[in-house]
Structure 1
């Protein structure tokens, strides 16, 4: 049976799941090219996006339901069939798709990709799935929350158990341990598209959408393709989460002793924060140098900075030992590689790829990057350490260890800069932690450290 019966939107979602499974692709990166390939726009593009992203967010929930509806272990179900069944489960349990349409289109997809026999299997499984709604499946499959809160939340909110525990500990670190379910639920809500105006090149009044509540440079796009916004198409504005915008603003506004001429982005790829920092630096007569280890990401940074004023250049180098003069920068950003558990709304597949073992490698890298930044900043200058993760090992513990090992580093209180951002206190006094369920941003952590000593002259 040919592919003609499979509609393009479901084909796109199926291809996204395959790319994530086979090539470790990221949904938000592979999806746009597939939408263009199949010429999907408007409602069809929105349907494909929700079908793919929503399925990946709810993977653990749907696998538990499917496992209850099959007579064989899921690991023995052909991967392509399982991908299609997951898409069908999402349509049945979380989308406004009529039952008959959800089942029939999924069966057509399986028949097209695998064969008639697999189509019959998919039909039988999905009919069992459709016999209950999502809440009824939770009641049957999830352990009671008072008896096993981690197991309950892991199934109901579709997060690995270790991630539930790590995020719960992060919330406890700021005195909000009772908000775990709210945070996990927020991770499963598709984020709004947020635009950023790059000062000196555009302003947010020319961007469509509602002004962001905390960043002075952003708007929340109500609908439409951001690439069709003239300022975005011309590189004078960009797509950037409000939390990421606030990282750049926090570095730019951190109190400084002495001159303010040379800024550095030490982990610059893919370039969104660099572009905003360059605009902010140029407005003060300062310049920005960007460093990125991976060549293909360094090229993305160059594209992001194309046409911007005040850019010294992009250096492809290891940020832990870059070929730069120690003490030669006034402001340094370390947007460190991390688990990314603060951006699960945008990268739903990340929750299934990370493991507790990743923390050991990442934390070591984060500490070395922060030490490198403190070596590169001059006395009196400031370093902003940021992660898109609230996990305490990557936030509180990295900063605390650095302060202990580097007696010349002093923590700067960020609270005065964030008086307009309620409930954003971080796990260390003076640090900031944003949250998806509180601020509708990625869970960005920020800490500013000043290098002690006599500042350079003006």
Structure 2
């Protein structure tokens, strides 16, 4: 048949025969509505970008709002955390495929591209589905205009695997820069973690730590001790029946790997709580030496209340009193709620700046300063923090940490114990901070925190917190640095100081 034979009487070309096939990428065939699970992830990324929200707080509410079933909720969770966690690496890859600077893109479009990149490169999502559904999300939530750009960019991204992109982009980089891109951490954070590991004699474990930071964290549970209703023993037993496993390191703790925490007995009452085992461990270590009658304890930075609740429950058992302090009113409300399961006579709450704690005109026998910090030890749980924090944050935070230590030292009773804690391994917030505190306060003595951690641990836990053989200096030798890749906890730092007796 000649070319002219396929034209009708008006000169228009006729169909060549057979069933007509439409391109999958044709606009008329593309999804124009957002898939509910992907829409949840998009909304969380928007809240993180626009409101400085934390994904772990926003995501559960968005999942409930969308009424996602268990499968879609798991998909939305993986997509949200994955896109946030690897944001810097995805932005580098996207930058190779966009004809302008990423900063020139509207933030919602960039968020959609990150979600699409994660589906293409790190999830078991068909390439067509990843592109098509992301384009549908853009058309539904942003508009038709940017959908063509998103479609074109994601098709280019999908031409290579994640490994191929990383290998190509790290080919000419130095070791730290390559590790930063490969493991999706800012370069300055990688340098800080390397320095902290070296101080603890673990310099060769950097890649292992970075990989652990990117693993989905387990949920740690604590059953509050004491005569509560229900009891901590009862709620932990119920949690085990629901699939949790008792911790191998610490009594009263459990690990939960799946399911809805809110449905476990004791959660509604506040007796069963989500709390990192490292945090539980440190709180128990502070109370491990013999508790005397009438002791007064202080949690100087109590919000949002996890450690305060555990300390208050222990205080009730020992028939002593915990003073909780929190400067921010809305966080003080969270502390109040966390403390509510514990008998009121065991605790009290002050809303005020911790640096003014001396206004109470009271000395305390045990004080914990869980100081505000960069949070670099909890990057598994708050993946957006790695891209939100900057080195400039350290200047303000380290000044505040020093002032809180000084305030605590000022109200520490003779022979009293002061625990300095951060959820960051950055040396400026840990070893340097303790060294400076010792130089300012000649009446403070640094104790070996490993001994107190081991005292409250189960046998396997006691073995895990033995001092390193080659730390750099006395402070590193006597303080405990927990690590995700070793202890399965957040990277918490713990120093224990004692004030000289009169």
TM-score band w.r.t. shorter chain: over 0.9
1:183 to 188, 209, 213: 209
Q: Equivalent residue of 1:117, what SS? A: coil
Aligned: 1:47 with 2:95: no
2:427 matched residue in structure 1: 392
Alpha-carbon distance, 1:41 to partner = 3.8
For the Cα contact (< 8 Å) 2:354–2:407, is it kept in 1?
A: yes
Q: Distance in 2 between matches of 1:66 and 1:328?
A: 57
Aligned: 1:56 with 2:84: yes
Alignment of 1:351-370 (within 5 A): 351-370=386-405
Deviations 1:102-141 (A, max 9, x none): 1110010111122223111111111111111111111111
1:223 to 258, 267, 270: 258
Change (3 A) 1:180 1:424: farther
More deviation in 256-265 or 41-50?
A: 256-265
Aligned: 1:287 with 2:321: yes
For the Cα contact (< 8 Å) 2:421–2:493, is it kept in 1?
A: yes
More deviation in 323-332 or 44-53?
A: 323-332
Q: Please, what TM-score do these two structures have when normalized by structure 2?
A: 0.86
Alignment of 1:60-79 (within 5 A): 60-79=88-107
Q: Equivalent residue of 2:341, what SS? A: coil
1:241 matched residue in structure 2: 276
2:170 matched residue in structure 1: 142
2:497 matched residue in structure 1: 449
Alpha-carbon distance, 1:252 to partner = 1.3
For the Cα contact (< 8 Å) 1:411–1:449, is it kept in 2?
A: yes
1:439 matched residue in structure 2: 487
For the Cα contact (< 8 Å) 1:257–1:381, is it kept in 2?
A: no
Alpha-carbon distance, 1:259 to partner = 4.8
Alpha-carbon distance, 1:282 to partner = 1.1
List alignment gaps of at least 5 residues for structure 1.
none
1:333 matched residue in structure 2: 368
* Structure with the greater alpha carbon radius of gyration: 2
Alpha-carbon distance, 1:317 to partner = 0.7
Tell me the matched-pair count. Answer: 451
Deviations 1:403-458 (A, max 9, x none): 1110110111122233415256486222100001111110000011111123xxxx
Alignment of 1:113-152 (within 5 A): 113-143=141-171, 148-152=174-178
Q: Distance in 1 between matches of 2:358 and 2:501?
A: 23
Alpha-carbon distance, 1:206 to partner = 3.2
For the Cα contact (< 8 Å) 1:271–1:301, is it kept in 2?
A: yes
Q: Distance in 1 between matches of 2:322 and 2:142?
A: 53
Q: Distance in 1 between matches of 2:480 and 2:83?
A: 32
1:164 to 163, 166, 190: 190
Q: Distance in 2 between matches of 1:258 and 1:439?
A: 31
Alpha-carbon distance, 1:213 to partner = 2.4
Change (3 A) 1:3 1:305: farther
Deviations 1:37-92 (A, max 9, x none): 11124121111111111110000111111111122221112211110010010011
2:51 matched residue in structure 1: 23
Across the aligned residues of Structure 1 and Structure 2, the Cα RMSD in angstroms comes to 1.8
Aligned: 1:205 with 2:253: no
Q: Distance in 1 between matches of 2:216 and 2:162?
A: 19
Q: Equivalent residue of 2:476, what SS? A: coil
Alignment of 1:85-104 (within 5 A): 85-104=113-132
